[in-house]
Amino acid sequence: MLAQPSLLSSLHDFNGQKRTDPPARAAYAEAAGIFRILPSGVAVPSTTRALSELVAWAAANRIPLIPRGAGSGMAGGNVGHGIVVDLTALDGGPLTIRADARMANAGASVPLRALNADANRHGLRLPPDPSSARFATLGGMLSTNASGPSAVRSGSVRGWVTAIGMITADGLPMTLRRGAPPPETPTVARFRQDAEPALLAARQMIRARYPRTLKNSSGYALDRWLESGDLLDLVVGAEGTLGFITAAEWRLEAIPSLHAGVRAALRDMAPLGEIVPALSGLGPSAVEYLDATFLEFAGVREGGEAGLLMVELESEEREDLEERLEGVRRILAPHADELREAPDRGSLDALWGVRHAASPMLARLGESRRSLQVIEDGCVPLAAMSRYIAAVRSAGERHKVQLVIFGHAGSGNLHVNLLPDLADTDWKPRVIAIFEEVTEAVLRLGGTPSGEHGDGRLRAHLLERVYGADVVALFRLVKAAFDPAGIMNPGIKLPLPGQVFANLKVGAEAEPLPARIEAGLREIERNAGYSLSRLDLTGVQ
pLDDT digits (tens, 9 = 90+) for 460-474: 999 999 999 999 999
% residues pLDDT > 90 (the chain): 81
Same-domain pairing of 203 and 229 = yes
Q: Which is more confidently placed, 363 or 1?
A: 363
Q: Mean pLDDT across the stretch 244-252?
A: 98
Q: What is the pLDDT of residue 10?
A: 58
| Residue 384 belongs to a domain | no
The 3-state DSSP class for residue 141 equals helix
Same domain, 64 and 4: yes
Mean pLDDT for 348-371 is: 70
pLDDT the model gives residue 540: 66
Do 266 and 188 lie in one domain? The reply is no
DSSP designation for 531: T
485 falls within a domain: no
Q: Are residues 144 and 185 in the same domain?
A: yes
Q: Is the pLDDT of residue 43 over 70?
A: yes
Domain for residue 48, yes or no? Answer: yes
SS3 for 444?
helix
Per-residue pLDDT of 146-158, as tens digits, reads 998 999 999 999 9
Q: Is the pTM of this model over 0.85?
A: yes
Q: Are residues 221 and 260 in the same domain?
A: no
- The reply to whether 69 and 145 lie within a common domain is no
The Cα 247–Cα 494 span in angstroms is: 25
Rg (CA), the chain: 22
The pair phi, psi for residue 421, each rounded to 5°, is -90, 110
Q: How confident is the model at residue 436 (pLDDT cuts 50, 70, 90)?
A: very high
User: What pLDDT is recorded for position 367?
Assistant: 67
Element containing residue 140 per DSSP (H, E): helix 138-144
What CA–CA distances, in Å, run from 287 to 264, 328, 340, 401? 11, 11, 14, 27
pLDDT at residue 508 is higher than 70:
yes
- Among 15-24, 94-103, 266-275, 329-338, name the one with the lowest average pLDDT: 15-24
pLDDT at 12 over 80: no
Q: Where are the beta strands (DSSP E) in 359-400?
A: none
Scanning 248-384, the segments in alpha helix (DSSP H) are: 272-280, 292-298, 318-332, 345-351, 353-356, 358-363
CA distances in angstroms from 299 to 37, 131, 220, listed in the order given = 34, 20, 40
Q: Which SS3 state, helix, strand or coil, does residue 287 take? A: strand
CATH number at residue 330: 3.30.70.2190
Q: What pLDDT does residue 348 have?
A: 80
The verdict on residue 466 lying in a domain is no
Q: What is the CATH number of the domain that holds 60?
A: 3.30.43.10
How many independent structural domains does the chain possess?
Answer: 3
Q: Would you state the pLDDT for residue 343?
A: 84
Q: Write down the mean pLDDT value for the chain.
A: 92
pLDDT of the residue at 295: 82
pLDDT, position 269 = 87
pLDDT bin (cut points 50, 70, 90) of residue 2 is very low
Same domain, 34 and 112: no
In this structure, the answer to whether residues 282 and 309 fall within a common structural domain is: yes
Reply yes or no on whether the pLDDT at 65 is more than 60: yes
Residues 27 and 63 in one domain: yes
Q: Which residues of 303-319 are buried (b: 16+ CB within 10 A; e: fewer)?
A: bbebbbbbbbbbbeeee
Residue that finishes a domain, picked among 200, 229, 253: 253
In a domain, 499, yes or no: no
Picking from 67, 91, 115, the residue at the C-terminal end of a domain is 91
Determine phi and psi for 27, rounding to 5 degrees: -65, -25
The pLDDT value given to residue 358: 59
Is residue 327 in a domain? yes
Does residue 100 sit in the same domain as residue 211?
yes
Average pLDDT on 95-120 reads 97
Q: Which of 253, 271, 303 is the last residue of a domain?
A: 253
Report long-range pairs for 110-113 (Cβ below 8 Å, ≥24 apart). 110/137, 110/138, 111/70, 111/135, 111/136, 111/137, 111/138, 111/531, 112/136, 112/137, 112/138, 112/141
pLDDT tier at 87, thresholds 50, 70, 90: very high
Residues 113 and 241 placed together within one structural domain of the fold: yes
pLDDT at 355 over 90: no
pLDDT confidence band for 1 (50 / 70 / 90): very low
Q: Is the residue at 150 inside a domain?
A: yes
Residue 199: give its domain's CATH number.
Answer: 3.30.465.10
- Spell out the residues 6+ positions from residue 220 whose beta carbon is closer than 8 angstroms to its own: 234, 237, 238, 475, 478, 479, 493
Question: Which tops the pLDDT comparison, 208 or 270?
Answer: 208
Three-state DSSP class for 342? strand
Q: What is the DSSP letter of 9?
A: T
Residue type, 151: A
Instruction: Quickly state the pLDDT bin for 303 (edges 50, 70, 90).
Output: low
Spell out the residues 6+ positions from residue 225 whose beta carbon is closer than 8 angstroms to its own: 199, 231, 233, 234
So what's the pLDDT on residue 185? 97
Residues of the domain holding 121:
96-253
Q: Does the pLDDT at position 57 exceed 90?
A: yes
Positive or negative: CA dihedral 213, 216, 221, 222: negative
User: Which of the four pLDDT bands, split at 50, 70 and 90, describes residue 125?
Assistant: very high
The predicted structure's pLDDT at residue 92: 82
Q: What is the pLDDT of residues 169-193, one digit of tens each?
A: 999 999 999 999 999 999 999 999 9
- Say if residue 100 is in the same domain as residue 203: yes
Taking alpha carbons only, the member of 76, 18, 128, 20 closest to residue 408 is: 128
Question: What are the angstrom distances between the C-alpha of 100 and each of 86, 104, 253, 254?
Answer: 34, 11, 11, 11
> Are the CB atoms for 415 and 355 separated by under 8 Å?
no
Domain-embedded: residue 446: no
